Amino acid sequence: MSPHTRADDGFGLVEVIIAMVLLAIIAMALLPALWNGIRYSAEQSSVATATRQVNAVVEQIRGYEKPTCTDIQHELDLAAVAKPDGRNGSITVRLKDGQTLSCTPGNLIDLPLEAMLDGKSIASVHGEVFVP
C-alpha cells in the first residue's frame, strides 16, 4: 500500500467555491426561461378557463328544449357576471364587439361570444342556436 498523502484528501475549499460559483452562473442563466414558462402557463390556464366558460354559455342555451329569445338573453345576462379565473382576475362573457342580440323566432340565431379578462378579450366562440 502507498502511504497516505495530502493530495489524496479530496476537494479543497477553493475547488468547492469555484463549483458553487459555476452552478450559480448556470442557474442565473436559466432563471429567465423558468420565469417565462411559469408566466406562460398561468396565461394559458386563464385562456382555458375562459374558453370553457364561453362554450358553457352556448351549451347552456342549446340545452333548452325550445329556447326563446328571453332564455337566450337571460343566459347572456348571467354570463356577463364576472367570475374568478384563479389568478386574481375576473372573466366575463359577452357578445363580441359590443353587439346586441338580434333574435327572431323561427330563425337561426348567431351568437358571437367572447370572454374578457379584466377588459381584454382572451377567448371567443361563434355559436348558432335555432329559436323555434
What are the domain boundaries of the chain? Answer: 12-131
pLDDT of residue 24: 96
pLDDT tops 90 at residue 113: yes
pTM, two decimal places: 0.73
pLDDT of residue 1: 56
Question: Which residues sit opposite 127 in a β-bridge?
Answer: 111
Ordered alpha helix ranges (H), the chain: 13-62, 69-79
pLDDT tops 90 at residue 119: no
CA distance 117 to 37: 20
pLDDT of residue 56: 92
pLDDT tops 80 at residue 62: yes
